[in-house]
Amino acid sequence: MKKLYPGLLVLVVFSSITFAQVVQKTGLTVSRIVICEDVKDREPAAIDSVFTNVERLCCFTEINGADEPTHIQHVWYHGNKEMLRIKLSVRASHWRTYSAKRILSEWTGNWRVDVIDDEGRRISQSYFQVK
């Protein structure tokens, strides 16, 4: 019976570490997501949800809750067609980042950007329109 306790202790410690890692990675939240025409001085510029005659758009996100360096992805969709998937670093508990997408003149219509965490879960999304 004495041999069971050290093994049980190791199991409890390992389970606690595993649980802490899960909480840590799933704790990411998006406090701000905007679509804009540019990012200047680390802030979005020309924010809107409907864009006309643009050659490029940016998706700016502000991420909170990363207890260790991790990644997110911005997945750009035109209608239901994936147009771009880009991996972005998150290096602090409060982090701002953005991706940019070239927009061709014939790509009018409904768009969205999904923000995906390192475990493949969508943690936010933003819808916009190009005319």
Q: Which of 99, 108, 98 is nearest to 53 (CA)?
A: 108
Domain extent at residue 21: 4-130
Please tell me the distance from the alpha carbon of residue 116 to that of residue 123, in angstroms, as a whole number.
Answer: 6
Distances (CA, A) of 88 to 4, 5, 26, 46, 98: 45, 44, 17, 22, 8
pLDDT digits (tens, 9 = 90+) for 60-112: 999 999 999 999 999 999 999 999 999 999 999 999 999 999 999 999 999 99
pLDDT digits (tens, 9 = 90+) for 37-54: 999 999 999 999 999 999
Is the pTM higher than 0.85? The answer reads no
Q: How many domains does the chain have?
A: 1
CATH of the domain at 13: 2.60.40.1930
